[in-house]
Amino acid sequence: MTSAKFFWVDVFAQTPLTGNPLALVPDADALSVSQMIAIAREFNQSETTFLVAPTAPEADYRLRSFTPDGSEVLGAGHNAMGAWIWLASHGKLPADRAAYTQQIGDDLLPVRIDRESGAAVRVTMRQSAPRFLRQVPELAALSDALALPIEELATSLPPEVGSTGAEHLLVAVTSRAAVDRAVPNSVALKSVLVRNGAEGCYIYSTEPGDDGADAYARFFNPTVGIAEDPATGTAAGPLAALLARESHAERGQVVRIVQGSKLGRPSVLRAFVDEDRVELSGSGVVVAEGTLQL
């Protein structure tokens, strides 16, 4: 390929220039993996997604997503949601069909498209069944890595590695103010994450706020070179499952997580949890398009 179209999607956003931006390259079958990695590095966003032909006959689309350091993302978060928002808003999906299957790595995951009033599109994606791998009793190390007093780590919800497709360390703190005060030391935090088999760190508080959210969160991922992400679907899924397990949220109801406020990119993530079923839903806005000259 000598050129490739790309699009910019603000995911988990109601208006442009909010939410989590995603660079999307459709029709990417002719790109090599090394080209995909180079393009992801060029965009320098938390993730860049490429739409390619599925290798599984039952899948409608296959998604490959890469971080700027070349790591492939195998979970279904904003990387996948942005792709489906683009597909629905650009006439790539039949208007009379709502159910689809996406292939990410070896996983085949259901996707539902709901067309709301006006032109809005809401995407609901099934994530992998929740798994909780281990608790992480390294409170002193986490206190140092996050630059928070150890007493601001919530002992009622011990740090725990959870996954609905990607392993993240879920760290509860005592207040929303503590979430905002965190200043992670990337080297120290990466050390804790690597020791415990986690990719990123999702710090959160269940303190109530005027927004009515079940949790207020920030996400740091030094293992793949992401300082902070404004909306992280692969972390919202396991957090919602954890809150439901610990009765901080109700099973069979939507768990609302607010993220990105500290970055000035407010995002609302919605996750439905019922036993082993976790579904992430959200909307977004396509804000730009262009052509890559390769």
The residues annotated with a catalytic role in the active site are 47
Sign of torsion, CA 142 185 256 252?
A: negative
How far is the CA of 261 from the CAs of 79, 174, 221, in angstroms? 20, 17, 17
Q: In sequence order, what DSSP letters do the residues of 181-242 get, joined into one string?
A: H----HHHHHHHHHHTT-SEEEEEE----TT--SEEEEEEEGGGTEEEES--HHHHHHHHHH
Token code pair at residue 59: 């899948």
230 Cα distance to chain centroid: 9
Measured CA to CA, the distance from residue 12 to residue 268 in angstroms comes to 6
Please check whether residue 244 is in contact with residue 257, taking contact to mean a CB–CB distance below 8 angstroms.
Answer: no
How many residues in total does the chain contain?
A: 294
Q: Which of 170, 191, 188 is nearest to 179 (CA)?
A: 170
Categorise residue 181: left if φ over 0, alpha if ψ from -120 to 50, beta otherwise: alpha
**Residue 206 has which token pair?**
């269940």
Tokens for 244?
């439901």
Residue whose structure tokens are 């949601």: 81
37: left (phi over 0), alpha (psi -120 to 50) or beta: alpha
The sign one gets for the Cα dihedral 88, 91, 95, 97 is negative
